[in-house]
Amino acid sequence: MGGGITLDHFLVLGLIVFLLGAYCVLTRRNAIGILMGIELLLNAANINYLAFAYFGGARYDGQVFAIFVIMLAAAEAVIGLAIILAIYQNLRTIDVDATETLSG
């Protein structure tokens, strides 16, 4: 630090959030935990959108895309949680390692 907060600071913050989300997605067995990791990933992407919108001059384009991402994240969460509830009703578990009915 020293020279003030620059674009790189925000990009590195987005990178850290992305890595936390990626680690969460890779290592969780609980399906809801995986969905939480996906939400961290989407937030990291949004941080990058808004950072580039602010520092790159294309202001409203980045904000509109960030709102689209939030909107689709809502749809994704609704569908994902509905699928998880349906799996739970059938198998009484949401461990993704246990849902291997289709494997040979």
Looking at residues 30 to 69 of the shown chain, list those that interact with another protein (rule: CB under 8 A).
30, 32-33, 35-37, 39-40, 43, 46-47, 50-51, 53-64, 66-68
Q: How far is the CB of 73 from another protein (least distance, A)?
A: 7
Shortest Å distance, C-beta 75 to another protein = 4
Report the nearest approach of another protein to the CB of residue 52 (Å).
8
Q: Quick check: 24 binds another protein (CB under 8 A)?
A: yes
| Closest-CA residue to 43 (of 23, 24, 72, 70) | 70
Q: By CB under 8 A, how many residues form the interface with another protein?
A: 75
Q: Is residue 91 a contact point for another protein (CB under 8 A)?
A: no
CB 81 within 8 A of CB 34: no
CB-wise, 4 or 104, nearer to another protein?
A: 4
> What values do phi and psi take at 82, rounded to 5?
-65, -40
29 counts as binding another protein under rule CB under 8 A: yes
Cβ atoms of 62 and 49 within 8 Å: the answer is: yes
Number of Cβ within a 10 Å radius of residue 57: 9
Per the DSSP assignment, residues forming a β-bridge with 95 are: 30
